[in-house]
């Protein structure tokens, strides 16, 4: 079974965390929530779910994980300005780990500068940011390009989850 790291900060899209997280656990994978601080209570923007971070980003090593999942909402904005988060995602990509982002999740990948020449999708609001990062934006429910998996919105979660599970 795989070790899956969820990168999370306050204000994530509730279902984009809950549904992939539950699906990974149901499939028997080991999951951890990594935040900017250990033990922080992280609330979804709709208030339907909350998670406590198992580790801070400064405590984790990329080598310990097979996949990194980045839910959307406003959380990626808080994550992408943290140098340790950006370096973690950069290293995960260098090691060919699965990196999956939905909605605004790819913002962290943009900051890690790992999307040049990569096919991606996202929430329409960051489409131009993806293009400016050198990505080929596709308006599809899920796009898989090598180790990178991206999706648009909560309605695309089933396809997003399916592709993550396929990769693991």
Tell me what percent of the residues of the chain surpass a pLDDT of 70: 100
Given the residues 34, 103, 133, 161, select the one marked as catalytic: 103
**pLDDT digits 0-9 by tens, 17-60:** 999 999 999 999 999 999 999 999 999 999 999 999 999 999 99
103 is catalytic: yes
Domains, the chain, with CATH or none: 3-167 (3.40.50.880)
The model's confidence at residue 95, banded by pLDDT at 50, 70 and 90, is very high
**pLDDT digits 0-9 by tens, 68-80:** 999 999 999 999 9
Output the pLDDT for position 34.
Answer: 98
Given the residues 29, 97, 104, 152, select the one marked as catalytic: 104
Query: Does pTM top 0.95 for this prediction?
Result: yes
In angstroms, rounded to a whole number, what is the distance separating the alpha carbons of residues 139 and 126? Answer: 12
Q: What is the mean pLDDT of residues 158-162?
A: 98
Question: For all residues of the chain together, what is the average pLDDT?
Answer: 98
The model's confidence at residue 61, banded by pLDDT at 50, 70 and 90, is very high
Would you state the structure tokens that stand for residue 146, as one six-digit string?
């090598």
The alpha helices in the chain, defined as continuous H runs, are 14-26, 75-80, 83-94, 106-111, 127-132, 157-167
Output the pLDDT for position 56.
Answer: 98
């Amino acid at each position: 079974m795989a070790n899956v790291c969820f990168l999370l900060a306050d204000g994530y899209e509730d279902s984009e965390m809950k549904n992939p997280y539950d699906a990974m656990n149901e499939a028997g994978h080991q999951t951890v929530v990594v935040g900017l601080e250990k033990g922080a209570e992280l609330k979804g923007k709709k208030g339907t779910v909350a998670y406590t971070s198992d580790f801070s980003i400064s405590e984790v090593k990329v080598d310990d994980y097979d996949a990194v999942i980045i839910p959307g909402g406003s959380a990626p904005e808080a994550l992408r300005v943290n140098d340790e988060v950006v370096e973690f995602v950069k290293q995960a990509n260098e090691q060919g780990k699965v990196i999956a982002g939905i909605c605004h999740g790819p913002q962290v990948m943009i900051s890690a500068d790992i999307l040049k020449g990569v096919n991606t999708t996202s929430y329409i609001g960051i489409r131009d940011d993806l293009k400016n990062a050198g990505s080929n934006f596709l308006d599809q429910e899920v796009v898989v390009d090598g180790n990178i998996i991206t999706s648009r919105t909560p309605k695309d979660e089933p396809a997003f989850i399916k592709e993550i599970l396929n990769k693991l």
